[in-house]
Amino acid sequence: MFKNPAELAERVLAGTPVTPDEALELLHTDDPGMLDLVAAAARLRREHFGMTVKVNYLVNLKSGLCAEDCGYCSQRLNAGTDILKYSWLSPEQAVEQAEYGIKGGASRVCLVASGRGPSNREVGTVTRTVEALKEQHPDVEVCACLGLLKDGQAESLSGAGVDAYNHNLNTAESHYESICSTHTYQDRVDTVERAKDAGLSPCSGLIVGMRETDEQLVEAVFALRDLGSDSVPVNFLMPFEGTPLAGTWQLSPQKCLKILAVVRFVCPDKEIRMAGGREMHLRSLQPLALHVVNSLFLGDYLTSEGQAAEADLAMIADAGFTVLGAGPDPSRDRHLGPAAAQGGGAEQGSGERTTTPCGSVCGSAAGSGAASGDGSEPEGASVPADVSRGGPVEAVDSSREAGSRNTGDRARARDTAASSAPTGTGMSPALAALLGSGDGPERDEDDTRVRVELSPTVRRRGAGTSVAPNA
Ligand code: SF4
């Protein structure tokens, strides 16, 4: 065993990996020890990735209507979640969506489709999309996430220029049957192996907070290490209404941070991404998490909305990090205020980005409030600005009424928090709940369960809608 996290980090840097028991001990760090744990994980992060953050952008090529029964997923056929449902975007539509993310600073575009796995014809649609995207943006990495792969499909994707393939293990083998019955854990491992064999960079990660034990969580992290995953997205369960895991709230911001630190200790030199649900579960600890992870998704997720992309970039800059591939100080000028903006446009990468004065950035971020899940999002003031940029795809299912109901829930939660603002005696329970303070949320005996039930906000913009995306 180790004396403290700093000593363990030194040992890892010297080449001795952590053991499962040590990982479990790290996971059980008490809250007063959390900053020491983060500092030690940050040492490993800086050693391999400096102060850069890789920005990834999701394009959901096909949404919903999946016959599989993954218990966490809003896209399963009988989920009662009123998500967007649409069939395949055309290559032109997909490239148009991807370009929003690229202009936002993304160096990797993740092309995702719902379903058990693609037909060969669908793989052909994806290869045409990738070829079109690479023609316009040869330096952008493309990751495909299409489900279980059959013989020859990984090779077709690789031949078209796909760089990586994502297929998450999601959870421990010992827990898998309790979250899915239509395919197996081994099916998932096999697909990652097929991708590796075809020369694709393996991307495989987790969804935490699915009623797994801490031991199972550690089991899953070591499985990812042994699988050789180059990048490890860590999703935090967004318990959509209408899914079997609705109402599952197992995570606190502190617990999320400890999980990320454990992943960093076990996979010190891998790209670790804070993924869907970070806004909802890490909440005000997101900037601290940047010292542990080195990657995130910009903007929205597959079926839910993330915080404003402007807020993501501001968070990165404010915490002293730079966007990978964007040169130094990537988005800082966007947040220096009107005077700085007038003094010279902020540019990033190819110089395509326009400057946004601080006022509008803060305005849209404030409008979005706390966020949500599989991915997640803000609504309100930021949307009209996005719409003005144009370039929407055809809406397939735009039942915005349900979205309004959903976003209305969250807006009401924010209103409640704001209207019961801090008093002289301390933070209000509602605001404390949103901010993750120990004052507000109800906790269970092991102090890891925080019952802050924020609804994921269903995505109503970007791919599959007539509204420009959050990027
Ligand atoms: S995770 Fe994928 S395979 Fe499982 S239900 Fe959702 S879309 Fe289908």
pLDDT at 452: 56
Cα of 131 vs centre of ligand 1, distance in Å, is 26
Cα of 226 vs centre of ligand 1, distance in Å, is 24
pLDDT at 140: 98
Minimum-distance ligand 1 atom for the alpha carbon of 74: 6
| Separation of alpha carbons 76 and 59, rounded Å | 18
From the first residue on, what is the mean pLDDT of each consecutive set of 10 residues in the chain (471 residues)? Answer: 96 98 98 96 98 98 96 92 94 97 97 98 98 98 98 98 98 98 98 98 98 98 98 97 94 97 98 97 97 97 94 98 77 42 34 28 28 30 29 34 35 36 33 40 44 78 92 94
Minimum-distance ligand 1 atom for the alpha carbon of 76: 5
pLDDT at 403: 33
Helix/strand/coil (H, E, C) string of 358-389?
A: HHHHHHHHHHHCCCCCCCCCCCCCHHHHHHCC
Cα of 235 vs centre of ligand 1, distance in Å, is 14
pLDDT at 321: 98
Residue with CA at minimum distance from ligand 1 atom 4: 70
pLDDT at 411: 38
Cα of 62 vs centre of ligand 1, distance in Å, is 11
| Separation of alpha carbons 133 and 365, rounded Å | 30
pLDDT at 453: 57
pLDDT at 454: 73
pLDDT at 312: 97
Cα of 178 vs centre of ligand 1, distance in Å, is 15
pLDDT at 77: 86
Ligand 1 binding pocket (C-beta < 6 A) is 66, 68, 70, 73, 75-76, 114-116, 147
CB 325 within 8 A of CB 349: yes
**The Cα angle at residue 326 between residues 321 and 331, in degrees rounded to 5:** 60
Among 58, 114, 206, which residue has the most ligand 1 atoms within 8 Å of its CB, making it the best to mutate? 114
pLDDT at 326: 84
